[in-house]
Each structure stands twice: as structure tokens, then as C-alpha cells.
Copies of this chain bind each other. A is one copy, B any other.
Amino acid sequence: MESLRVELGDRTYPIHIGAGIIGERALYNADGAVAIITNAVVAPFYLARVRQALPGATEIIVEDGEQAKGWKTLDRVFEALLAAKLGRDGVIVALGGGVVGDLAGFAAATYQRGVGFIQVPTTLLAQVDSSVGGKTAINHPRGKNMIGAFHQPLAVISDVATLDTLPDRELRAGLAEVIKHGVALDAPFVDWLEAHIEKLLARDRAALVYAVRRSCELKAAIVAQDERETGVRAHLNFGHTFGHAIETATGFGPWLHGEAVAAGMVMASELSVRTGLLGAADARRVRSLIARAGLPVQGPSLAREQWHELMALDKKAAGGKVRFVLLEGIGRATLKSGVQGDLVDEAIAAAAQ
């Protein structure tokens, strides 16, 4: 097992990464009462082992899928927490993927104005992305993650053995965020990924532990600089302005988040070329790695107006202007506003070619 620390002053917390660690009681630093939130797909595989580590915990099982990230499910969670009389010294454990983590994390952020939170991510996406940074949220019909809070966990327990039960498509979607960390932040990690993408797709545990650890390290370094996403943390949103537009347009579901981000990264790379920041060869390299991971390199067919309208809802928008995360090179993201609309159209079209 490897452990790293996300340095956030008095909110500093550890991330434990290993194979077969989900039932290790010592990793759960919860003193008070505990509620475990998980879903109907994850529970049969892993709830029994977490229950052994946390006997007597309240268990709340929500429905599978993105639709759980809404008012209705959240209200059921609050109802269950209140029925169990969980106090302000209670701790909520999220056992599952990004949906469970975001929902349970937002519940922890707002239940009685905030209780403790431990994440046990069981998807690659959640292990490399939502486990670092304290972002929690639910969706609104008008946009993904529109309602949320920053709420740092007490600990994250990432067990790559839980990825054994992850469908191939979700594994690939998780790799999209791994690739994003390299492409936006760290060129040597892109080299490593180009050399190990097949091992990762074959679920080689040592490769997975390294990919999770390196992703978390890269993200943790950014988050430590900018916890509330007022500056450099926006770089982690590489591919997400386009990606969120894809997810919103298609109704949260047909496209997995990582798939939308994958296509979004190709578009953002193409836009970087068109704004003169990036060489065409580097954009091809990004596209090639994404394609080798079995991820989409082009988005759905949407009208020009729809793209622009959806992107205007992006949380990075400032004063009504969309800001894009672009590349100045492999591993070097930068935030740009005032990008011309027709260059955006060209980039979207280029991704489809």
C-alpha cells in the first residue's frame, strides 16, 4: 500500500492506494457514528467488507447511475441520516464511484452544516479524480454539478482490486482523466502512459497503482495551490468545457463523463492549435493516446448555437465570457478567455475528422 497526503493546512488528509485494502479498519479514521452511502450495484460486491471494518454503521443504498445526483435522492439520504440520528460528530463513508462520492460528499458538506467524510472510490474515475480536491455536487436539469460545495474528506481509501468488477467502458472512461492529468500537467507522465496504456487496459495492478498515485499527486499539487478553484486549479478542467456541453446536450447518461472529457480534450487541443498555442503534432499525439485508450475523439452532432449556449453555462465563465483551458505544449495547460467563436467551431469540426 502507498499513501500520499493532500496538503491543505488543517484540512490535510491522506490517500491510501493499494490492492485489497478496502476492509482494513485502521484506514478508517472515524471515531463517532458512521453512515455508509453506497449504491445497488456496488453494495453486493463490497459492502460486506466495509461493514466488517465499520460494524454498526447505518447503511444507505441509493440507486445506480447519474440520476442519483439529484434533489430526490439527496433528500432520501438526509431522511435516513436524520432517522439514524447521526450527530454532528458523525462520519459519512462514500463507497462507490463518482456519483456516490459527489452525492455523499455534498450530503456530508450540508448535513447539519457539515460532518466528516471518508471516500472509498470503486471506479478508476473516482480514484484519480474526485478523490482529490473536495469537490462535491449534485446536478440540476440546467447543468451538471451546478449545486455543490467544497468539502475535504478525512481520508480516501483507493483499492485498485475493486476495479476488477468495473466494466471495460468505465475503466476507459477513468483513463480519460488519467490522460488529462498528464496532458495538462506533466509531459513525463504522458510518456509513461504511451508506454503503459495496454497494461492499464489489461488492469495490471502495479500499473494501476502507479497511474492512480501519479494522478493524485499531480492533482493534489494543484489543489494545494488553489483549493477553491480561483486560479491554476482551472487547468484540471482541460477538456471539460466541451465535455460538460456534451453531457448536458445528451442528457447525462449516453456519454460517460470520461468519454465526454476525452472528446473534449481533442477539441481543446484542436482549439489550442487554432489559437496558435500548440503545434499540430502535439494535438495529434493527444488524439492518438485517447484513441488507443478506446475513447471517443469526436463529439455528438450539435448545432453551433447549442454548443455556444451550453458552454456559456460553464462554471469557469467570468462576466458572461467562456474561458477555455488550452495547451501551450504537452503537460502545459493555460486558461484563455476571449477566444473567437469561429475558432471554437473549427476546433469542434476538426475533432470530427
Interface residues, chain A, with chain B CB atoms under 8 Å away: 32-33, 71, 75, 78-79, 82-83, 85, 87-89, 106, 109-114, 135-137, 140, 142-143, 145-150, 228-229, 312-313, 315-320
Contact = CB atoms under 8 A, between A and B. Distances in A.
A148 B318 contact: no
Given A89-B319, A112-B148, A113-B145, 9 more contacts: A71-B75, A78-B146, A82-B140, A88-B318, A110-B149, A112-B315, A113-B148, A113-B229, A114-B228
A352 to B, nearest CB: 28
A140 B171 CA distance: 38
B319 A82 contact: no
Contact of A142 (B79, B140, B150, B313): B79
Contacts of A150: 113-114
Contacts of A312: 85
A82 B149 contact: no
Contact of A147 (B110, B136, B317): B110
Nearest to A150: B113
Contact of A149 (B85, B88, B113, B317): B113
A140 B79 CA distance: 8
Interface centre among A112, A114, A228 (most CB of B within 10 A): A112
Contact of A71 (B71, B317, B318): B71
Closest 8 A/B residue pairs (Cβ): A82-B142, A113-B148, A87-B317, A112-B315, A110-B147, A89-B318, A88-B315, A110-B149
